[in-house]
Structure 1
Amino acid sequence: MYVTYSRREVEENRKYYEMMYDASHHLVKMDQVMDWDFVIRKLEVFYPHRIGRPTKDPIMLVKILFIQYLEGFRSVRFTCNQVKQNATYRWFLGISPQEKIPDHSTISKFLSQRLRNVAFWEELFQHCLRFIQQEGFIANETWVADETELKANANKRVREILVEEKVIEEKDEDLVMINTHRVRHGKKPLQAKGSKIEEKQTNISPVDPDARLSVKHDQRGRFAYFEHRIVDSLHNFIIATDVTAANVPGHRKLIGQIEQLKRSLGQYAKEIALDSGYYNASLARRLFQRGFFVYMSYRRFTTKDHPKCRRYQFQQVNEDLYACPCGVPFYYKTTNRQGYHEFKPPKGSCQSCPFTKKENQDRVLRISIHQEIYDQLREQRVSMRGKILRSVRPSTVELSFAHSKELHGLRYARYRGVQKVKAQVLMTAIIQNLKKWAKLRSLKQVGLHLTHQIIEETTV
């Protein structure tokens, strides 16, 4: 049966700690900005109202979880032990000195049985975000996105081989561009290929099958998850977050997160800053179609070309003609299915070239069909605005990840399974936003706040 303390009972119990609690603690400020009525309404659906024994106050259980993630405690058991001996924590819970703290197993069952999916935490995250936006602390002009690795709770030496069927489909948009170039030059258009199914072997952990091997920080590989995060550049609020296995790159998730942000915030931002992990032409094209100014760090791919005869050293004469560093003309020949224009010199022109890779073999110049997108990315990257966005990243999303890992225990996944890890990430994001929101609220009271709108006072 659903039972919770009334606001009056909480205030009466807090009088016992008036001379003991720390009024400047983050929990005290967070309690002032948090909408606990919303939490009560969302938790009511998980409990019957007239059947069963009275439950432990669900609001108290949520508050204990908030304490754990705010302080970065390693476990619920350790958190409960700390709450027993800390007056500020008991003041935040709103319980009397004689009342016992709930057992750690009660909180674990509350997470695993009542809140078994992440819907509650997602709704709470979006609810806090709406109030922060209404107070003007989210500019919604410049977004900064990145991904980070969370080490999974699994032994990297214990592995199993999983054979998965992977469906490989040809991109219709790329095929249309390829055939457009081929028809323009008198070539036959390529026929569309059907979907291709390939068997792929994947290493999985028997204790956490959702995690995947990552070599980002360990060359031998370790099981991990990726968190994909977007922050607003004004006050570094976390406005979007998602969790996937470590084999899902960030450019696959970014468009979905951006569309979700448009629904929640009402519009797209004007600018977005990304690192080299998002260097993808299809992603850049879709961002340009949505009107973004994109700063995307360049990703240097490995090549076997001679260092003095790289692709970027060729000079474009016109659409169908390039000149190599030695002045040899390269003429357009075809556009292949892989999405590259092929340019070749007259036969035998590279035999006496000092930069040739193999004797008696002419060089083939390949230019991507997305070269215009790459050129546009470079123009925006080297522009003055692009250089400013490059300097913004360390103080926004990188700092947000640093706070999550160093202060709130997000370096490691506490749970197993992508849904439980996502709940951990959402709770961390809620805590970070509430802490920053409470700080800005206190500064606003003395007139030291910053919003995205310029407030002009009219003099009479």
Structure 2
Amino acid sequence: MIEEKEIKVSTTDPDSGYMIRDGKPEGFFYLDHRTVDLKYNMITDVHVTAGNVHDSIPYLSRLDRQQQRFGFKVEAVALDSGYLASPICKGLQNRNIFAVIAHRRFHPTQGLFPKWKFIYDAQRNMYVCPAKHELPYRTTNREGYRQYTSDPQHCKNCPLLNECTRSRNHCKVVTRHVWEDSKEWVRGNRLSRSGKYLYRKRKETIERSFADAKELHGFRYCRLRGLQNVREQALMTAAVQNMKKMAIHLDRLEKRG
């Protein structure tokens, strides 16, 4: 039986989306998916969606659009943890783009082993649990996650059972996405010297761009209702910010002679 997901719809602005995120206010919002360059902090793309659209959904298509429309040769990207999804990691790896994505903190069930306690053996395609028992590959679900399951006969007498699983049949299941290797590649990039440098630059570029838009250009609130009106506000705000950046840069060039 397929469960129907309840979607809240605003009675005053149906184009907006109900957003629930940790550390963010809850309610109906729009999201501006913005891209800036590293050298001049120029805004190269603005894409507005309803607040309930996840950041990772439009990302790759907007990246491709910029490369095709402007002829950009993108060498590296730095993204926040909202983009740490297997399809994003795989897509960036396939495009030969050095990707740095912030670590996302997962909160395991209290009292149970976190996933990293289960060691993946790539050669044998299986996991090994903290008690050194093997969890062989069983199947792959529709979402692209491979399932590795333990032997209940071993688990039911294991002294670590209560810290491993609360399953009634004493069977532990560990999942791994088919593109998990790409996510591990991104994690390696983040810990590299270049990755740390790129991610530090976010506070001077994209985070600064959003802060200026909100504090100096009234972008904290939507002026009008409706997706098209909000999109126009976002584009006009970005245009003004870019013109200021251009003026500052040209002035510096003129002073240098």
Do structure 1's residue 428 and structure 2's residue 244 form an aligned pair?
no
Do structure 1's residue 357 and structure 2's residue 162 form an aligned pair?
no
Structure 2 distance, partners of 1:234, 1:219, is 30
CA deviation vs aligned residue, 1:345-389 (integer Å, no higher than 9, x gap): 333212232323337613222222222112111111111111111
Offset, 1:404? 0.3
Structure 2 distance, partners of 1:429, 1:236, is 11
CA deviation vs aligned residue, 1:379-429 (integer Å, no higher than 9, x gap): 111111111111011110000000000011000000111111111111111
* Gap change, CA 1:199 and 1:345, over 3 Å in 2: closer
Offset, 1:447? 1.1
Q: Does the 8 A contact of 2:84 with 2:183 survive in 1?
A: no
Aligned to 2:86: 281
- Whichever residue aligns with residue 250 of structure 1, its letter is D
Aligned to 2:42: 237
Aligned to 2:252: 443
Which 5+ residue runs of structure 1 have no aligned equivalent? 1-196, 449-460
Q: 2:108 aligns with which of 303, 327, 331?
A: 303
Do structure 1's residue 312 and structure 2's residue 116 form an aligned pair?
yes
Q: 1:367 aligns with which of 176, 196, 210?
A: 176
CA deviation vs aligned residue, 1:28-70 (integer Å, no higher than 9, x gap): xxxxxxxxxxxxxxxxxxxxxxxxxxxxxxxxxxxxxxxxxxx
Structure 1 distance, partners of 2:135, 2:3, is 37
- Whichever residue aligns with residue 235 of structure 1, its letter is Y
Offset, 1:201? 3.6
CA deviation vs aligned residue, 1:127-184 (integer Å, no higher than 9, x gap): xxxxxxxxxxxxxxxxxxxxxxxxxxxxxxxxxxxxxxxxxxxxxxxxxxxxxxxxxx
Aligned to 1:264: 69
Aligned to 1:170: none
Do structure 1's residue 417 and structure 2's residue 222 form an aligned pair?
no
Q: Does the 8 A contact of 1:231 with 1:239 survive in 2?
A: yes
- Whichever residue aligns with residue 271 of structure 1, its letter is A
Structure 2 distance, partners of 1:292, 1:333, is 33
Structure 1 distance, partners of 2:58, 2:169, is 46
SS of residue matched to 2:153: coil
Which 5+ residue runs of structure 2 have no aligned equivalent? none
CA deviation vs aligned residue, 1:239-263 (integer Å, no higher than 9, x gap): 1101111011121111222122113
Q: CA RMSD in A?
A: 2.5
Q: Does the 8 A contact of 1:275 with 1:297 survive in 2?
A: yes
Q: Does the 8 A contact of 1:349 with 1:362 survive in 2?
A: no
Q: Does the 8 A contact of 2:93 with 2:182 survive in 1?
A: no
Q: 2:190 aligns with which of 375, 381, 384?
A: 381
- Which of 420-429 and 319-328 deviates more? 319-328
* Gap change, CA 1:221 and 1:441, over 3 Å in 2: same
- Which of 398-407 and 310-319 deviates more? 310-319
* Gap change, CA 1:320 and 1:431, over 3 Å in 2: closer
Offset, 1:302? 3.9
Aligned structure 1 segments of 4 or more residues deviating by more than 4 angstroms: 197-200, 217-220
For residues 138-177 of structure 1, what are the structure 2 equivalents within 5 Å? none
SS of residue matched to 1:203: coil
* Gap change, CA 1:321 and 1:252, over 3 Å in 2: closer
Do structure 1's residue 221 and structure 2's residue 26 form an aligned pair?
yes
Q: Does the 8 A contact of 1:208 with 1:416 survive in 2?
A: yes
Aligned to 2:202: 393
- Whichever residue aligns with residue 231 of structure 2, its letter is K
Offset, 1:431? 0.7
Percent identical among aligned pairs is: 33
Do structure 1's residue 328 and structure 2's residue 137 form an aligned pair?
no
- Whichever residue aligns with residue 443 of structure 1, its letter is R
Offset, 1:314? 2.1
Q: 2:59 aligns with which of 254, 262, 283?
A: 254
Offset, 1:214? 1.9
Normalised to the residue count of structure 2, the TM-score between the two structures is 0.88
Normalised to the residue count of structure 1, the TM-score between the two structures is 0.51
SS of residue matched to 2:247: helix
For residues 56-75 of structure 1, what are the structure 2 equivalents within 5 Å? none
* Gap change, CA 1:330 and 1:217, over 3 Å in 2: closer
Offset, 1:219? 7.3
Structure 1 distance, partners of 2:62, 2:48, is 11
Structure 2 distance, partners of 1:375, 1:220, is 32
**Max radius of gyration: which structure?**
1
